[in-house]
Structure 1
Amino acid sequence: MSDDTLPEADRVEGAPHPRETERLFGQSQAEAGFLEAYNADRLHHAWLMTGPRGVGKATLAWRIARFLLATPIHEGGGLFGDAPPTFDTLDISPDHPVAHRLLARSEPGMFAITRSVNEKTGKLRDMITVDDIRGLTHFLTMSAAEGGRRVVIVDAADEMNVNAANALLKMLEEPPALTTMLLVSHQPSRLLPTIRSRCRELRLTPLEADDMTAALAQAGAEDNDDPALAALSSGSVGEAMRLTRLGGLEMYQEIVGIFATMPNPDRPRALKLAEAAAARGAENRFELLLTMFDTFLARLSRTGATGVPPLPEAARGEAEVLQRLAPNPHKARQWAEIAQEISSRTRHGQAVNLDPAALVLDTVFKITETALR
């Protein structure tokens, strides 16, 4: 199987890979933080990109890699004591040789670590293993003789198993010369404290509506200016792409429609939704459906706590349903509690391979029970 046909753990299906994404929207503060350190000649050997999934952490990591590998190392001093140049952008021309080599995955100074493919099954592993880190050791040994900068991206660092994390920690404790490590992390609390302490953090935030629209247009998403898409994706381009690809907007509309008839929810409609989630090959849609239920309950809780439904509406008639089911803070607490219970029940059900349709109907039942309480 060639590199072009292997699945990539760091690519959102239907979207360009982060190495192929030219512009990064909505994260100017994080970019400025890196450039400030670079211009002051305080380039840290390890950086931790944190923030919600899908807001551009991997894109920033590849932008930094492209910048570092394409920017000559300033020797300092010189005959006339020339000052190093300063930079106000990470932009590198797409015609630059480094940009071409990165796209072709042939840049000798670049090494990317993601969940690798199990050769026996042809599927991605669940974790980054110590063998993946051993590949980094070989890369650093071989590339040291060539000189120049080297950049390592780990995406996502949260996915390292214990042995892999300990192997990477040894490299962070004794960083190789002219090597910059960029760790992408959706949940930094899952990393070893010793790994976090050896990295400088760049925190990325959810995108505002205009930046979201621009980022989705760049990724080739349809209906990229739909207010419902922005509402349900919570400022995450990656999540918006998943919603678009798997029909998330229609799915959420069905959930709102089912509970619009409370106290007697539309059971045939719920059964149809459950059966669709249980269809063979619909695992990704089922996972998204569970996320949509979580989102619905979160928006219910917020409505009760604040007294007003979140804006913009994520489905037709949503505001009326939310206000009717969560009229006060007391009800908001009930919805928050049931959200935790449902999440725990569904994740346990997945772990023991319960029927997806049964899990969906159980979720509908629990929400109905709380509404009637």
Structure 2
Amino acid sequence: MAVIGHDEAEKAFLEAWRGGRLHHAWLLAGPQGMGKASFAARVARFLATHGRAGEGHAMSLDDPGDAAAGKLVDAGNHPEIIHMARQLKDKSKDLARNITIDQVRGMIRRQHLSLSLGEWRVIVIDAVDDLETDGANALLKTLEEPPAKTLFLLISHSPGRLLPTIRSRCRTLRFQPVDRDVMTSWLHDIRSMLDMAELRAIVAASGGVPGKALALIDSDVAAMEKKLLAIASSGDPGNRLREALAREVGGTSNRARLELVIDIVPGLLAQIARERPIAEIASVLAQWDRVQRNVRDAIRGSYDGAMVGFEIGNCLAELAPRHAQTAR
């Protein structure tokens, strides 16, 4: 699939490589879903399949380079590409809360080994925001005295939360939300079966983040809107619809569905407000304020997706016509 939103970052990296001025650490900063991990994978493959910095005239990170090295990268077996991320908990499908100090120490030990293939060792940390405190400090020491021919790609969704000393030792590439018209055209090219009205709604809800737009498409926006409107129109007597919503968006694996609900509720409330008498608009706005408070409180706390989903359902149920509320 074609990438979007990487043009400026790719240009900056290739200019540094061609000029032999490749900084040892790059901070890939921007909203989650901008494709920063995809960009890091392209950079890692590029360095694994090309020679010394400044050699050659590759015009793109997707220049194939050495075919044998490329096959190893594609198979996930290239010895000089190290990928660090949160690991699965023991006997669990859930990810650990952090990238641990032991993972960082393992990466540092690898740095003492001689390169066995190619000119570069590439270390991708996805995301550097997930490092526990000791791990961040250990990484900082490595960035202060970087090994030769080693390049760090630090993916960050919230660079302001990183240690300032880590940020100061990196060259930052910023991945900004994509313009609406560009995003709409891109989605139309890769999802041509969607009508333009639905595409525009998805682009608006995505905030210019390609990964979020794709998640919205894959989550079936229309089906979710229908479920939420059913709560708002019926009042959900017996809580059946709200309980189903809570199950659907609860748990770590359903975070994308919860974010989808949070994204599309404003549009639904606007639709409801347009259909109500002027005297009832204030009550619709009050429920939107309530939704925002619930989301903020959840983020500050444990972010219980099921609870947030049920509370959003409660807000919508309060907007049911009076005869439906009486039936409750």
Q: Which residue of 1 aligns with 2:141?
A: 170
Shifted more, 121-130 versus 184-193: the winner is 121-130
Matched residue of 1:136: which SS? helix
Deviations 1:193-227 (A, max 9, x none): 11111111111122345456647966x89749733
Give the Cα–Cα distance (whole angstroms) in 2 for the partners of residues 326 and 138 of structure 1.
65
Alignment partner of 1:344 out of 273, 291, 296: 296
Alignment partner of 1:110 out of 54, 69, 81: 81
Q: Which residue of 2 aligns with 1:66?
A: 45
Structure 1 residues 323-362: aligned runs within 5 Å: 338=290, 340-347=292-299, 358-362=310-314
Q: What is the Cα deviation at residue 275 of structure 1?
A: 2.1
Give yes or no for contact 2:98–2:132 (8 Å, CA) kept in 1: yes
Matched residue of 1:48: which SS? strand
Q: Which residue of 2 aligns with 1:268?
A: 236
Matched residue of 2:167: which SS? helix
Give the Cα–Cα distance (whole angstroms) in 2 for the partners of residues 270 and 348 of structure 1.
30
Deviations 1:17-57 (A, max 9, x none): xxxx6x42232111111112222221110001111111111
Does 2:103 align with 1:132? yes
Q: What is the Cα deviation at residue 234 of structure 1?
A: 2.2
Structure 1 residues 50-129: aligned runs within 5 Å: 50-73=29-52, 84-93=55-64, 96-121=67-92, 123-129=94-100
Q: What amino acid sits opposite 2:123 in the alignment?
A: V
Deviations 1:289-340 (A, max 9, x none): 5434533566699xxxxxxx8xxxxxxx579469979989xx98x7885454
Q: Which residue of 1 aligns with 2:8?
A: 29
Q: 1:94 to 1:347 in 2, by over 3 A?
A: same
Q: 1:295 to 1:275 in 2, by over 3 A?
A: same
Matched residue of 1:279: which SS? helix
Does 2:23 align with 1:44? yes
TM-score by length of 2: 0.78
Does 2:205 align with 1:232? yes
Give the Cα–Cα distance (whole angstroms) in 1 for the partners of residues 66 and 11 of structure 2.
24
Give yes or no for contact 1:346–1:359 (8 Å, CA) kept in 2: no
Q: 1:92 to 1:212 in 2, by over 3 A?
A: farther
Count of equivalent residues: 316
Give the Cα–Cα distance (whole angstroms) in 1 for the partners of residues 111 and 91 of structure 2.
28
Q: 1:285 to 1:154 in 2, by over 3 A?
A: closer
Q: Which residue of 2 aligns with 1:196?
A: 167
Alignment partner of 1:241 out of 179, 191, 214: 214
Deviations 1:231-256 (A, max 9, x none): 22222232233323333442235445
Higher helix share: 2
Give the Cα–Cα distance (whole angstroms) in 2 for the partners of residues 336 and 273 of structure 1.
19
Percent of aligned positions that are identical: 31
Give yes or no for contact 1:212–1:237 (8 Å, CA) kept in 2: no
Give the Cα–Cα distance (whole angstroms) in 2 for the partners of residues 129 and 40 of structure 1.
36
Deviations 1:319-365 (A, max 9, x none): 9469979989xx98x78854542213444675579756643344436
Give the Cα–Cα distance (whole angstroms) in 2 for the partners of residues 281 and 253 of structure 1.
15
Give the Cα–Cα distance (whole angstroms) in 1 for the partners of residues 200 and 277 of structure 2.
20
Give the Cα–Cα distance (whole angstroms) in 2 for the partners of residues 325 and 32 of structure 1.
55
Give yes or no for contact 2:205–2:264 (8 Å, CA) kept in 1: no
Q: What is the Cα deviation at residue 273 of structure 1?
A: 3.8
Q: 1:253 to 1:131 in 2, by over 3 A?
A: same
Q: Which runs of 5+ in 2 are unaligned?
A: 321-328
Give yes or no for contact 1:51–1:205 (8 Å, CA) kept in 2: yes
TM-score by length of 1: 0.69
Give yes or no for contact 1:300–1:335 (8 Å, CA) kept in 2: no
Give yes or no for contact 2:28–2:153 (8 Å, CA) kept in 1: yes
Give the Cα–Cα distance (whole angstroms) in 2 for the partners of residues 136 and 123 of structure 1.
23
Deviations 1:252-301 (A, max 9, x none): 35445655xxxxx5412894541222338953686455434533566699
Cα RMSD between the aligned structures?
4.0
Q: Which residue of 2 aligns with 1:251?
A: 224
